[in-house]
Amino acid sequence: MSERTEAERVREEVRKYYAKQGRLEPEAQSCCEPSPSAQSCCQSYPVELLEAVPPEVAGISLGCGNPISAAALQAGESVLDLGSGGGLDCILAARLVGPAGRVIGVDMTEEMLARARANVERAGLNNVEFRQGLIEALPVESGRVEAVISNCVINLSPDKPAVLREIARVLCPGGRLAVADIATQGPMQEDLRTMKDSWAACIAGALTVDEYTAGLKAAGFVDIVVTPASGGTLDQVGSGLPFSALITARKP
């Protein structure tokens, strides 16, 4: 099977999974399929971050961490969310950057885009827009945004170097990246990598911490920091097991 065909297969598997999630009620959604590793994938937002968000919108996260706080967004900034899903991170970002700021969400799944647009309308925001597209070929102008965020999405891509290059392209000089994603310390245990539906369950596509760091350096990023989303240090993460990571970096 060619690399192109394999990439298409992975995208279709992920698309079907998240199209289904987009049709579910918020309380029925999860960022991971039920699995022995689910607890290490799924993280929740601090209560204070969600206080101003309608309950039916606050329950739509399919993420694995809190990139919003890590991004340290400022009023007036432009922000891009990769794999924006139901729109929760875009809504949180929009409130932080304010009316003078702008948030763009990119997702490949029509069902998720429809839900996200409805949620933004419900939240009464007019500084958010959504675009359909692939994170490997972002429908965003070069040098357009000050910050890129993402939540448990890059690990699903079959071409992560392309994603990291695209992030570097759309960021303005000095712009920053803050993503929550699944990573591993050392190669992932094979029984986890081959789990059923593991691509869409945020498992099989996870990079090691070293691979993530090397990929960001190759894309031109500096000041790269990888930490467990739950706190603590990388030394406390079990070898070969997936964990929720917060990854920050800066474009020179």
Q: Where are the domains of the chain?
A: 3-250
Q: Mapping DSSP to helix (H, G, I), strand (E, B) and coil, where does residue 131 land?
A: strand
| Cα–Cα nearest to 169, from 145, 151, 153 | 145
Cα separation, 1 vs 89, in Å, equals 36
Residue 188 is predicted with a pLDDT of 83
Residue 32 is predicted with a pLDDT of 43
Write the pLDDT tens digit of every residue in 128-186. 999 999 999 999 999 999 999 999 899 989 899 999 999 999 999 999 999 999 999 98
Write the pLDDT tens digit of every residue in 62-92. 678 899 999 999 999 999 999 998 899 999 9
pTM for this model (two decimals):
0.85
Tokens of 73: 């967004």
Residue 61 is predicted with a pLDDT of 65
Write the pLDDT tens digit of every residue in 42-66. 456 777 888 878 777 776 666 788 9
Give yes or no for a contact between 22 and 88, defined as CB atoms under 8 angstroms apart.
no
**pLDDT for 201 beyond 80:** no
Domain 3-250 fold is Rossmann fold (3.40.50)
Tokens of 53: 């968000």
Ramachandran assignment for 172, one of left (phi > 0), alpha (psi -120 to 50 degrees), beta (any other): beta
Cα separation, 46 vs 63, in Å, equals 13
Cα separation, 194 vs 217, in Å, equals 29
Percent of the chain with pLDDT strictly greater than 70: 77
Residue 47 is predicted with a pLDDT of 79
Residue 44 is predicted with a pLDDT of 64
pLDDT band at 31 (very low <50, low <70, confident <90, very high): very low
What is the DSSP secondary structure assignment for residue 234, as one 8-state letter?
A: G
